[in-house]
Every structure is written in C-alpha cells, then in structure tokens.
Structure 1
Amino acid sequence: MSATAERALRKLVREYQDHNSSTVAELEAVPTPLAFSRFVAANRPVVIRDAGRETQVPALERWTDEYLVDKLAERELEVSVTPEGNADAIVDGVFVEPANVQMRLSQLLEKLREEQDKPVSTAPVYYVQTQNGNLDAEYLALLDDVGRDGPSFARKVFGEPPDVANVWIGGRRSKTSLHKDPYENIYMVARGTKTFTLLPPTEAYCLHERMFPHATCTFDPSTASFTVSRTTPPLSLPWIPVNPLLPDLASHPRYALARPLRVTLHEGDMLYLPALWFHFVEQDVGFGPGGRGTRAAIAVNWWYDMKHDGLLWATFGMIRRLTLAVDGREEDDGEE
C-alpha cells in the first residue's frame, strides 16, 4: 500500500511540474480583478511590479525614520529576538519559538544599525514579526498609510476584508523557515528587498514534515545571552526540517524531486502568495524614502481567509495523509 501511495505522490509532483511554469509570473501593471482572479482560481503566485506606487500607497513616500518614530509616539513594541535570525524554526532537532522583548521603535532602529556593524556571530537579531494583526493594534497609527483592506483588485476578488494586516521590520539576517499558511496573502515591500522560495501544495511529499519537540527561547539583555527551554508538559508539533538554501539530501532525499520557485520583491512590489503554498523568506535592507534613514527591511501584508469549500483544502489534506502513510504515520490529534 505505501509503495503504491508513494508512486502516486511522485507522479503527482511530476505532473504538476510538467503542466505549470518553473518561474513566478510577473505583471508590470496592476491587474483588473478579472485578470487577478485567474491566478487565484489556479492557486498560482504572481508578482505585480511597483504596484504600491501605482496604487499610491502612502507608506512608500511617508515612512522615513522620523515619521515612523513620531507616529508611534514612543510606544513599547513587541519585538522578537534570536541569536541567528531563525525565529520559529528547527534548532538542533527542536522547534524553537523566539524570545520577545519590549522596545520603542527608535531603539529597534538603533539595534538594526548595530546589527549591521557587528560580526554576525555576536549581535542578537531583532525582528518585528508578531503576525497577530499588529496593524490593528501596536501599529494602528500607521494603518492609514497602507489601508486595512489591502489593494482593491484583491479585495474585489476575495469578496471580504482581510482577517489580519501586519507590518514586518527587521535586518538582513532574519529568515522565515519553510512553512505554509491557510490564507490568501498579499505582500508588499516598503523598504529593502524580500526573496521568497516557493513550493506548491503538491510538493508536500518532498518536504519531509515530521513531529518536533516544542521549546521557547528567553533572552537576557544584560548579557545578550539566550536560553532554550522545552515546553512543560512536553509538546510536539509538525514542522518542515528542510532548509531550501542548503538542503541535506542525505537526510531529506525526496526534496530532490521538488522544483522551488524563487522571486525577489523590491520596494513597492506586491506578491500574491496563494493559500497553502510553502514559502521560505530571506530579506535584505534598504534606505527609506529619499535614500535616507536606517537600512532596514520593512514590509506589510494582508491575510485573507482561504475558501474551504472547493477542492484545494480537501486535496491538500489527502496529499498530507498519504505522505504520512508513506512515512508510517497517521494524523495525530492536534495536527491539521
């Protein structure tokens, strides 16, 4: 049975690759809702170059260091901090959540400047990545600069406002490990660049997902030291151990069958990242409006809840269950 299932999964991977492009589609102008809906219906990513400027998103002209610090008015912000920029990732066989600290934006910008000046091995990595709808909370003062509902072409196709909108602020060392989200995602870069490595839901078989012990990280600012503590009582959760930048094919041989897509977003570019697509994210820093300010990576995104009534959700669930069966596992309580 498992051998038959494995052959079927391998054929699925090949057939999808044979019938779809090996690159991410790019548009040079903001699409009409009809044109955009074709990408949504096909569950395929697309980059809209300079869409932020074409749709006149105010953040691209307003978000200088001085403006951001003034608008946030010395508010204490939640910022993740890690030794190497790998928040929410597998570290030494354990899934580790980052430490969190409270600081003002002016302090964060200073940390980002220090991070770029110090050796990679010594400076802690600070990153705003709360993912909890922070544009409706901590960063509410910036909401009018990007809009709560995202670009109109997306809003008209999805038919409802996004569940959450987030702002992301960090340096070049922060990376987001390979994962998926049950959301339709519109992502816009406001400063610096973001590079996405993307894999379609059909390649779940290639990614060797398994269960990992859960742990949290704590940070002592006085010594700049970190402590990792496993959750008590013990907790495990499913995660992907593959690093697409340096895949270990000896440990993860099925990744050799994957065909990752890579695309880099620059200031003002938008990416439609379809629901359930796996993504690994790197970033680099850039100056603010007018070529001034702290070199940083700043982005916003809007998450629209995916529809569960078509084929996508059920089909992905079947792919995942078949992959678990090939690995001799069944779906555990608490897993999707």
Structure 2
Amino acid sequence: MPSIVEYAAAQIDAETFRRDIVAPCRPVVLRGLVREWPVVKAATVSTSAFGEYLARFVTDRTMEAFIGSADVAGRYFYSEDLNGFNFERRAMTLRAALDHILSEPVTGQTVYAGSLSVAEFLPGFAAENALSLLDGTAAPRIWLGHASRVATHYDAFDNLACVILGRRRFTLYPPEAIADLYVGPIDHTMAGQPVSLAASAAPDDPRFPRFAQIRDQALTAELEAGDALYLPKLWWHQIEATAPANGLINYWWDAFSSGPDAPHTSMLLAMIAIAERPQPEREAWRAFFDHYVFRSAGHPLAHLPPEQHGILGPLKANYGRIRAYVLQMLRG
C-alpha cells in the first residue's frame, strides 16, 4: 500500500502547518509532534505510569463506553442485519473505564471510550499538554481503549490526531472513493458518522465488487506514542489501536471556515432540494453548482469589474447578506 507524506516535528510551526500541510488537503504524518508532552513521557515509562499521570486529572463524570465481547475482538460494528450493533453501550465513569482499559481485558471483554471532552473529563490536562500549532479554538478530545478497530468513516472537520499511548494504524481513502466504499446508513450509526460496509467486510465479498478496485490503493500510516496525523475533512479512515492499551488526543476544527455554516449542512439541504429530481435537471443544477460554488473556471463574474460583483464580491464582506437571504427563503 502507498505511504503518507511525513514531516519531522522540528520542521513545523503554526504558519508552516497551515500553509504546507492543511491548505493542500492531503494527509500528513507529523513524527514526534507531541513527544515532549508529559503524558507521552509517562506512557514511554509504562502503562501504569500513564494511568497514574491521567489519575491526577480524571473526574468521576459519567460517559458512555462501548463494551465488546471476546468474539468481537475490539471490532466494533453493526450486527449482521444492520439493525443493531455487535457491542453494548454502558454508562460508567471515565475513572472506571480507565481502570478497565489499563488492565487485561476480562474474559476477552474490551472497553472503548471515545470523543470525550478533555476540559470536562480531564480538567487541567490541556494546560500541561498544549499544542502550539492551533490557535486555541480547537478543543482537545481524548480516546482510550483496549486493542480495537474503528470502522472506516469520515469527519466533517479537519482532524489532528495525536497518539499518547500504544500504537495506531490508519488506513485512508480519499473523498472521491465514496461510491466504492459502499457506505452504510447516515442516520443509524455507531458514533455519528456513516461507515464503509465494504472496508469492514471479508476480502472479495461479492456484495461489494467495486471495493476490490480500490482496496490496495489505500494510504497507510503507523503511529507510535508522540506521533500525530493530520487528516483533512472528508478523508475516509479506519483506525486500528494495536497495543493492549491505547490512548489518543484529537482536535477537530474547520480550518478555512468563513462563518458558522458547515458544508455538510449545505449538502443535506441540497439532498432534499435536488437528489430525486429527473437526471437532466440534476445535471443542469450540477453545472450551476460547478459555476457558482466549485468555480472550476474561476470566479463566476470575472468578466465584470469588481464593483459590479454584488453579493458575489469578497465573501468576508458578503457572508452576512447571503446568509440572511438564504434564511429568508427557508422561512418561505
């Protein structure tokens, strides 16, 4: 499989990160980015030292953990009929989950606690384990668990994933692979995002013939504690935690947002407005989207002087006007 471009931590500052890593919208491994974090230094001593370090911050706040039986082997997924899941959701404190995760799985049972706000569950942790590449608007979240495999999915935000304990293997597919991944339901998911059914199936599963064409084109990255991976929004990724106990801190943010409205919201609105119209009409709207939104031929009013661009002038100056116009139309 192809590998991902890598940078050494010493080569990266905030400006370089935004210009050379985030703007091209390609995955990049950042070796040793958080090697100096106290939590990583504790993890390099031992799993017990890692647990003792986190214990300084952990609260008794309750969260929802995934509990997998021995036959699941940490591969959290749907049930065979897609109506349910192959794991149990159980409320417990992070302190209790951490005790389970840092010990051997009981009778093969695995525990996974994901996407927990560091500010809420580990107050004070972020101050000691800070990241200078981001401007502070991206809040850290923590993921802890036994060895596991998280099904191939995408995020609607840019993602910086930092390994703090154990090892992680990322398998990535570009956004344009979506049709070949055979994506499951978008409103019945394990943790919010739809997942690829094909990537979790046996090789050459006859239900997913197109996936065979892209399986070997996936990008892969192996990360140790202290390493990080930048994942642009909409890149599909499977995450395997391969050590007996594993931990990760991630940051989600929209690197080039012009306002509060997310592209994903626009896609859902376009679905109900366009998706089931006749194909010729959909093709006509595709041409208009390409012209006004994706702008493959440049600015749609490049043939006019800037002062005649109206609401198609600089977005920073016109964002509020366009948004008010859209909200007025949505209200009927």
CA distance in 1, matches of 2:57, 2:195: 37
**1:114 corresponds to:** 104
CA contact (8 A) 1:170 1:297 kept: yes
CA contact (8 A) 2:59 2:121 kept: no
Q: 1:23 to 1:211 in 2, by over 3 A?
A: same
Deviation digits for residues 12-57 of structure 1, max 9, x if unmatched?
Answer: xxxxxxxxx942001123413343222222210111111112xx32
**2:123 corresponds to:** 140
CA contact (8 A) 2:112 2:144 kept: yes
Q: After TM superposition, give the deviation of residue 306 of structure 1 in Å.
A: 4.9
Deviation digits for residues 95-119 of structure 1, max 9, x if unmatched?
Answer: 646512214525643455231x74x
Letter in 1 for 2:125: L
CA distance in 2, matches of 1:50, 1:300: 14
Deviation digits for residues 255-288 of structure 1, max 9, x if unmatched?
Answer: 1232211111101001101111001110122xxx
The number of equivalent residue pairs is 255
Q: 1:278 to 1:32 in 2, by over 3 A?
A: same
**1:270 corresponds to:** 228
Which segment is superposed worse, 72-81 or 59-68? 72-81
**2:162 corresponds to:** 188
1:52 paired to 2:34: yes
CA contact (8 A) 2:117 2:140 kept: yes
Q: TM-score, normalised by structure 1?
A: 0.64
Larger relative contact order (Cα-Cα within 8 Å, sequence gap ≥ 6): 1
Q: 1:46 to 1:214 in 2, by over 3 A?
A: closer
Letter in 1 for 2:150: T
From 23, 29, 39, give the equivalent of 2:21.
Answer: 39
CA distance in 2, matches of 1:95, 1:146: 40
From 91, 97, 102, give the equivalent of 2:92.
Answer: 102
CA distance in 2, matches of 1:274, 1:47: 12
Any unmatched runs of 5+ in structure 1? 1-20, 217-236, 286-294, 331-336
Q: CA RMSD in A?
A: 3.6
Q: 1:251 to 1:305 in 2, by over 3 A?
A: same
CA distance in 2, matches of 1:26, 1:108: 31
Q: 1:198 to 1:78 in 2, by over 3 A?
A: same
Which segment is superposed worse, 175-184 or 64-73? 64-73
**2:211 corresponds to:** 255
Q: TM-score, normalised by structure 2?
A: 0.65
Q: After TM superposition, give the deviation of residue 188 of structure 1 in Å.
A: 0.7
Identical aligned pairs, as a percentage? Answer: 24
1:300 paired to 2:249: yes
CA distance in 2, matches of 1:101, 1:140: 20
**2:140 corresponds to:** 165
Aligned pairs for 1:273-288 within 5 A: 273-285=231-243
**2:80 corresponds to:** 92
Secondary structure of 2:121's aligned partner: coil
CA distance in 1, matches of 2:189, 2:248: 28
Letter in 2 for 1:161: T
Deviation digits for residues 74-125 of structure 1, max 9, x if unmatched?
Answer: 55554321332334x322131646512214525643455231x74xxxx322
Q: After TM superposition, give the deviation of residue 252 of structure 1 in Å.
A: 0.9
Q: 1:213 to 1:304 in 2, by over 3 A?
A: closer
